[in-house]
Amino acid sequence: MKIAYRPEIDGLRAISVFAVIIYHANFVLFNQTILKGGFIGVDIFFVISGYLITKLILKEIYRTNQFSFKKFYESRIRRILPTLLFVVIITSIVGYFILSPSSLKDLGNSIRSLIFFISNIYFWITGNTYGAESELLRPLLHTWSLSVEGQFYILFSLLFIILIKFFKKNFLIFIFIFFFFSLFLAHFFSTVNIVINYKIFRWNFVFFEKFNFYFLLSRIFELLIGSLLSYFELNNSVTRKSYYKFNQIFLCFGVILIFYSFLLFNFNKILHPSIVTLIPLIGVSLIIWFSKKGELVTEILSNKILVFFGLISYSLYLWHYPIFAFLRYVGIFNNSVQIKLLAILLTIILSVFTYHFIERPFRKSNIISTKKLTAYILVSAVILLSYSFYILKTEGIKSRFPNKNIFSEKLKENVEQTKLNELNKINQNERTVFLIGDSHATALAYHLNAELKKKSYSFYSQEVGLYLKKFNQINKKDNKIDKVFFETNEKIYKFLQKHENLIIVWHHRWTVSLLEEFFNNEEGYTEYQSEQDKYLNIKREPTNIKNTTLSERQNYIIKDIKSSIKEILEKGHSLIIVYPVPEMAFNVPTLLNQKYLYSKILNRELEVPILTSSYDVYKKRNKIIFNVLDNIQHPNLYRVYPHESFCNTKILNRCLANDEDHLFYYDDDHLSLEGSKYIVNDIIKVIGKIEINKKISR
């Protein structure tokens, strides 16, 4: 059943989709990101979808006292799948020519998850925090929102029918219960930071914050706001005022709330989705509720230009992300306003094409019959699934690249962390190595474990952001304390006190924790996208001291590092400290792939480029931690210096990211399997010295 067309809603769609596009383009003016809250456009889409879908369902039920699932699902399929499948097919073709084997494998997995409308789950499990640089290179990341909507269409159409049929009198109560339950969960999940240390399908389950962002459970309240608007509108449960001034005040307030969110929200500083997300959602709700023909805000939103872009908003949303991702991947997007504007223009051109030649024809059953629609979807899905399985079977179709291992080698291997309760099972007489550290230490774990087995050592590891005693880790967004951080450090401390004669390998990305800022290599590459993203969103301070300055926190951390080293050594352990790994600020595999693409386009014979960063910048950035660690002396304290393997070796005053045969990093700062071998070999040599010294001391 058709519902009355409201052009102002298309105007809202246009504003929302361009907010998302501008946000993903990351335009920076005077060191300020334009529309840094543009990600809220997706949330506005959810409200609009909830409003229109619920209205469609309820109107048919009220009018006919029945509901046709066939017609409903066919209409949703016609609206979503034809254009989506077309964009994914084009994205797959372009990906074949541009992406490295590992990136193409990720694209293949993305395609499979999208076909079954679970891409939100896939990106939650396999990805980084939304908006991180690594995520901007994944061409189909934005389809997470389509999976959320698809899940809503399937589950809540059934739920609405059940509620209307069996609980009609209490329908509104149930919707409010679902709404507040979802809002509560979203806010709760956004304020906790819990790591789940098990794997499913070889994927690590990590932070609730990511779960919160991607999951239907935390997004239902956004869609249900639209549902409530539809219910009140159709049941006249709430009378809408028709006074011109009254409407105008609420409409203007709605616009203010939306643009306040676009301009002032910052993904790295607010909790989202959470109760804070209600600010723009109330704004869009006010516009939907109070809009009336002839009123200023309604007329502005209903103008032909906004309506036009609103009509093609779905295509705009589908096209912009893969276009931006591919341009980022080849290295011509981030630092060029002109390229960004051309990318948006290309997005518009492709969107106009798909709207007129795919979206509109497929929506009309008199143009594209149900049989033709079914055939198109089945054939497209089979092609895409076959392609994705072929990608995985051929390990990213690595035959596309020269017969050089560097383009297709495996860069990392997950090693299951030791459960803390298992640490207590260690036999006091075991020859045991215990690795403590963050993700930089974890990058060493695979080869370290393999080498230690050869020497009949037991190997245990525990990941923690920074090993500190009686310290809190505090989220700068909301001042919430990470209880897991404190508890993990407490258990490590108790374990180290309980046992003796362990060999401790201690390694962190020390300087990020001390400076609380990410890396700028001073040669055009930064680990962050804008100045606003430069700073770490957590701080660490003693449990008995609050509201410290950065300088004070540095002093407290340095004091605790010294204290921990002293306690470890006095307990009789041998301690190997691994100094900072050189940072690059550019994604090493991606940049190497870009260099290859340029050579291919120019039809040049490929010589593997050697990527490097400045050794002087490395020394300057890590000066504080070097001074701290170098000034501690003890016969059982040993040091491993990663820079000795990578810096000032083959190229004077440069730190290597690769050689002709291997990549040393799997991103911009974590060592790859090959890179970690250098550090592990140094650790094994030190362990050999420790064995000799123990024999001599006996």
CB 552 within 8 A of CB 471: no
> Please, which pLDDT band fits residue 532 given cuts at 50, 70 and 90?
confident
- At 207 the pLDDT is 52
**Predicted confidence (pLDDT) per residue in 18-61, tens digit:** 999 999 998 887 777 889 999 999 999 999 999 999 888 888 88
Q: pLDDT at residue 425 above 70? A: no
**Predicted confidence (pLDDT) per residue in 175-191, tens digit:** 999 999 999 999 988 87
The more confident residue out of 485 and 336 is 485
Closest CA relative to residue 139, chosen from 332, 328, 322, 391: 322
Closest CA relative to residue 373, chosen from 115, 78, 114: 78
Domains and CATH numbers, the chain: 7-400 (no CATH), 420-583+613-654+670-697 (3.40.50)
Closest CA relative to residue 17, chosen from 33, 36, 1, 40: 40
Residue in the structure block whose two tokens are 């106009």:
352
- At 69 the pLDDT is 84
Closest CA relative to residue 508, chosen from 474, 550, 555, 558: 558
Residue in the structure block whose two tokens are 């000795």:
644
Q: How far apart are CA 361 and CA 354, in angstroms?
A: 10
**Predicted confidence (pLDDT) per residue in 653-681, tens digit:** 999 999 999 999 999 999 999 999 999 99
- At 480 the pLDDT is 84
> Please, which pLDDT band fits residue 420 given cuts at 50, 70 and 90?
very low
Q: How far apart are CA 76 and CA 364, in angstroms?
A: 12
**Predicted confidence (pLDDT) per residue in 132-146, tens digit:** 677 889 999 999 999
> Which pair of structure tokens corresponds to residue 31?
């060191």
Q: How far apart are CA 124 and CA 212, in angstroms?
A: 9
**Predicted confidence (pLDDT) per residue in 196-238, tens digit:** 444 443 444 445 668 889 999 999 999 999 999 998 988 875 5
pTM of full prediction above 0.75: yes
Q: pLDDT at residue 529 above 80? A: no
- At 698 the pLDDT is 59
CB 669 within 8 A of CB 527: yes
> Please, which pLDDT band fits residue 600 given cuts at 50, 70 and 90?
confident
Q: How far apart are CA 565 and CA 438, in angstroms?
A: 17
Percent of the chain with pLDDT over 70: 92
Please, what's the largest Cα pairwise distance for the chain? 94
CB 48 within 8 A of CB 9: yes
- At 198 the pLDDT is 42
- At 162 the pLDDT is 83
Mean pLDDT, range 556-570, rounded to an integer: 96
Mean pLDDT (the chain) is 89
- At 316 the pLDDT is 98
The more confident residue out of 62 and 441 is 441
